[in-house]
Amino acid sequence: MKPALKPGLKSDAAHVLVIDDDLDLLRLLSMRLNSWGFRVSTAASAEEGLARIAVEAPQLVLSDIRLPGKDGLALFDEIRSTRPTLPVILLTAHGTIPDAVQAMSRGVFGYLTKPFESKILLEKIEQALQLSPLSAGRETGNGEAWREGIVFRSSCMAEVMEEARVVAASDASVLIRGESGTGKEVLARAIHRASPRARAPFVAINCGAIPEQLLESELFGHARGAFTGAAGAHVGLFQTADGGTLFLDEIGDMPLALQVKLLRVLQDRAVRPVGATRAEPVDVRVLSATHRDLEAAMAEGLFREDLYYRLDVVTLTLPRLDERREDIPLLAAYFVQELVRKYKKGITGIAPEALEVLASAAWPGNVRQLYNVVEQSCALATTPLISLTLIQRALRVPSIEALSYAEAKQRFERNYLVQLLKLTDGSVADAARIAERNRTEFYRLLQKHELTPDMFRSVPDSTGVADR
């Protein structure tokens, strides 16, 4: 007999994320929860689960304690740091009960010992949902829908997103700086979604991709007969974006002659199409972006100083991907989720050793390059987990820039530490002895590279066999 939901529990609105590397159990739990009326998302690894949490905002996490790569305890610590009110229930075998109890002392809502009865599972879920007034629906929900598609847990990105959220409420012009591929347009769209103009159009144009003779017409429009070939009137992007947001990408590539006309539009809040006799008022918020050094361009006379100060009321600088390496596994898992729908394949995630390679690789093309690597790997994948071989193959694209000595040294150092801890099953004493370093120095190196011995330890059960 199927357990009945308690009156008052709005299960149709309750979103549960289930994380387990046992795909059969994952499917069983998903079917069971769906039959009770819950909305269910699934993940086969902690990294994939974190990506789903960042994007989907579930109200409850149900996770196995033993996962490939990052285990359930490390997963809980990650969740607590970013979603402190999101309840987590751990699924544990007999051999991991001490870990589960320890986790409860740190804030885990509860744990269930495998195998568990359906009734007990449902009761525990109901309790978690009812006793957590700040569920993810309230904590994030519409409040964080504006940042859809932006996945992160790094402090540097958190700072940028907080500044973006604050400035979005105003009508101030924002200049977004960052290297190519860092996601400048994605951030601009997020600012628009978080602004009072969210229901009005968002219009984007790359100022460096359109010839100068066409760019003016695209921006400001033209009247019929304004030039040879102008058989009809053309509405420019300023008028198209009226009431909303216009995003000028690569503003540093705009010709000087057009910079003058753009400045006039921003000052007068009116646009005169090419060949027209009068200007039309427009209400547009302008966001712009560049990968160029505009201060240097001003010094060389290539960018107008008065336009610069019109555009640069607030500056947001996106970090390079190699400055937010802790976000790489999350981003990769998120891209897999997106691409699975495109390629219609049963891919569940990326192999842990492949994620390690991604996290330590050079990324001259930033997030855009990471997406391309994951897409190539998804297209060629024939197994549920994207293999190390596929990732290595996709990364074998000639790099446009070599690693600096410092970057190469840091990458080698981290990989060396990872291999030592794998070899010694997380024993710092043994690893330090092999490396011929004292334990204190070794701990400092681990802290520098955000590594902990627990990441490499297996937990034996009462029979001496590691529990999976």
DSSP string, 390-415: HHHHHH-SPPSSPPPHHHHHHHHHHH
Q: What is the pLDDT of residue 119?
A: 83
Q: Report phi then psi at 405, rounded to 5.
A: -60, -45
Mean of the pLDDT values across residues 39-49? 88
| pLDDT tops 50 at residue 7 | no
The dihedral built from the CA positions of residue 140, 141, 145 and 148, taken in this order, carries a sign that is positive
Residue 264: what residue type? Answer: R
**pLDDT-above-90 percentage for the chain:** 36
Where residue 29 falls (left for φ over 0; alpha for ψ -120 to 50; beta otherwise) is alpha
Which band of pLDDT confidence, cut at 50, 70 and 90, is reported for residue 138?
very low
Q: What is the pLDDT of residue 140?
A: 36
| pLDDT tops 50 at residue 245 | yes
d(CA 179, CA 156): 15
Q: What is the pLDDT of residue 127?
A: 78
| pLDDT tops 60 at residue 1 | no
Pairing label, strands 270-271, 280-281: antiparallel
| CA-based nearest residue to 46, from 69, 77, 15, 16 | 69
Mean of the pLDDT values across residues 287-298? 94
Where residue 37 falls (left for φ over 0; alpha for ψ -120 to 50; beta otherwise) is left
Q: What is the pLDDT of residue 104?
A: 64
Q: Which residues are paired to 249 by β-bridges?
A: 206
| pLDDT tops 60 at residue 463 | no
Angle at 288 between CA 282 and CA 291, to 5 degrees: 160
d(CA 185, CA 207): 13
d(CA 427, CA 410): 22
- Which of 213-217, 275-279, 360-364 is predicted most confidently? 360-364
CA atoms within 13 A on the CB side of 294: 24
Summary mean pLDDT of the chain: 82
Mean of the pLDDT values across residues 163-192? 95
d(CA 62, CA 125): 9
